Amino acid sequence: MQKLYVGNISFRMGDQELTDLFGQKGDVVSAKIIMDRDSGRSKGFGFVEMGSKEAADACIEAFNGQEIEGRTLRVNVAMDKPRDDNRGSSRY
């Protein structure tokens, strides 16, 4: 499996539309648009987990830089969130 970051998503697009779009290139394991917890509105980015690296590569090639619903998508391999090993501790 390969997780992709999808940026500059139309605020009108939902999880199902994202699944349908990326499903054109392979098996979508999950698709989630990140929502603002206060307003409940889309933050304009999300993550799609594809069933294989090959499907993920096909999505990057097909959709990165493509205009979808008036917005130019940015699609690339998702990076792991950096860990903060010093949480709650002081350096001094």
Domains contained in the chain, number: 1
Mean of the pLDDT values across residues 1-7? 97
In a domain? residue 6: yes
Domain at 27, CATH number: 3.30.70.330
Residues 73-83 have pLDDT tens digits of 999 999 877 66
- Main-chain phi, psi angles of 68, to 5 degrees: -125, 120
C-alpha pair distances (Å), 11 with each of 7, 18, 26, 44, 60: 11, 12, 24, 6, 20
In a domain? residue 87: no
| Tokens at 70, concatenated | 């008036």
Q: What amino acid is encoded at 69 in this protein?
A: E
At residue 12, the pLDDT reads 94
Model confidence band, residue 92 (pLDDT cutoffs 50, 70, 90): very low
Place of tokens 């499996």: 1
